[in-house]
Amino acid sequence: MKEILITTTEHIPGHNYEIIGEVFGVTTQSRNAISDIGAGLKSIVGGEIKGYSKMIENSREQAIQRLREEADEKGADAIVMMRFDSGSIGTDMQSVVAYGTAVKFVD
């Protein structure tokens, strides 16, 4: 797979491009029982729940990788206006979506 530039901006300095279309990378992770117990205890005293933070970090990385793969399959050189969205599914799953617009350089 070729390297695909991903940016949160609309314009890429020094490049002209045509729009290919929207691309997505989605992942859903489940929380494990041990993390849930630890989170429950941590909520009593407050502070960061590192297990959940790591899960979200890993989910974002996986979503970006899937975003790149979909853009590559469409022949894109870059993705502009990349964003994340996340949400809970039930009480024990977290979904993360990376999305943006795939573009092809024309210069």
Question: pLDDT per position in the chain (107 positions), as tens?
Answer: 789 999 999 999 999 999 999 999 999 988 665 555 555 555 566 677 777 788 889 999 999 999 999 999 999 999 999 999 988 777 677 899 999 999 999 98
Q: What's the CA angle centered on 69, arms 7 and 106, to 5 degrees? A: 55
> pTM to 2 decimals?
0.80
Domains of the chain: 5-105 (3.30.110.70)
pLDDT at 37: 52
Token duo for residue 97: 């979506």
Q: What is the DSSP string of the chain?
A: ----EE-SSS--TT--EEEEEEEEEEEEEE--HHHHHHHHHHHHH-S--HHHHHHHHHHHHHHHHHHHHHHHHTT-SEEEEEEEEEEEETTTEEEEEEEEEEEEE--
Q: Residue 1: its pLDDT value, please?
A: 72
pLDDT at 31: 65
Distance CA 73, CA 58 (A): 23
Q: Could you tell me which residues are beta bridge partners of residue 82? A: none
